[in-house]
Amino acid sequence: MDVPPLLPASPTRFIDRLRAFIRARNLAYKTEKTYVHWTKRFIRFHDRRHPTELDSQDIERFLSHLAVQGSASVNTQRTALNALVFLYREFLGIAVEDLQFQQSRKPRRIPTVFTSSEAKAIIDGLDGEFRLLAMLMYGSGLRISEAVRLRVKDVDFGMQQLIVRNGKGNKDRVTLLPGALNAPLHAQRQLVEARHRADLEQGFGRVYLPNALSRKYPRAEIELGWQYLFPARDLSIDPRSGVRRRHHILERTVQRQIKEALRKADIHKLAGSHTFRHSFATRLLEAGYDIRTIQKLLGHADVRTTEIYTHVVRKGGFGVRSPVDALMEDVTG
């Protein structure tokens, strides 16, 4: 779930205080979950000793353990490092300088992508909102978390764009809205409007708003524009407030449907919902679009992250024609 758990007004437990500190910095909830996860792992690694009893050498031991015994990837180790630096420097106010630890050497894997025919076969194997969600991930480069959290107002038909709010790194960005999806998105909006009207008639119709938006805009939670574009089929109770309302469809529900479509399409790649995003970037590169443009559409902070897709395009020999192909042509010719 992407709804932050309720914290005490004056938290006393260490993890609760850390969560409150993160929220005061207005960081994304995914960042909060990541930082809390690595803080807990760090504490457990050191036999549940309090972080204030540990020092830079203990951080180094933990990070080296991830690389050597844990075979962690470069990105995983870097994420753990960022979390612990935040814990000590920002939250505890303890300086950690010149950390010396064993760097992860695990090579970064080239992302799996779908061919155009594979993407079509998977999408054709999906129905309803699942089909539309897959087309958005493939056609707009959305992460699954970004797709399911789209609100009605985030679809700008006039500008032919999608507004992704609170994406990775808690940043907003704009990406393209495929013209082929105008009609199905209009139809989806009509379904949301009809369901929302029925919810209001039954005394419901409120939607979750992040941070303090519900106080800043008291009527926003019942307005159509703030409703999720892909709402859950059933109402649920918000564990923080006890309010019964309609949240968005769950990521794992979409992932299950995509896995089943992969099976039916007889595609045996190690793939999932995120493969549509990889395929989006690869198709744009193949079409000759500028790497910086693709970086902005994907919302990558560093262009080096985007550049990994250049290794996917024509990776089978860098576009070189194999001698055996010419040989077989001579034989069959």
Would you please indicate which residues are annotated as catalytic (active-site) residues? 143, 168, 274, 277, 300, 309
Tokens 């119709």 sit on residue: 205
Residue 28 has φ and ψ, to the nearest 5°, of -65, 150
Three-state secondary structure readout of the chain: CCCCCCCCCCCCCHHHHHHHHHHHCCCCHHHHHHHHHHHHHHHHHCCCCCHHHCCHHHHHHHHHHHHHCCCCEHHHHHHHHHHHHHHHHHHHCCCCCCCCCCCCCECCCCCCCCCHHHHHHHHHCCCHHHHHHHHHHHHHCCCHHHHHCCEHHHEECCCCEEEECCCHHHCCEEEECCHHHHHHHHHHHHHHHHHHHHHHHCCCCCCCCCCCHHHHCCCHHHCHHHCECCECCCCEECCCCCCEECCECCHHHHHHHHHHHHHHCCCCCCCCHHHHHHHHHHHHHHCCCCHHHHHHHHCCCCHHHHHHHHHCCCCCCCCCCCHHHHHHHHHHC
Give the amino acid at 125: G
CA dist list (Å): 93 to 41, 56, 192: 20, 13, 47
Say how many C-beta atoms besides its own lie within 10 A of residue 151's C-beta. Answer: 20
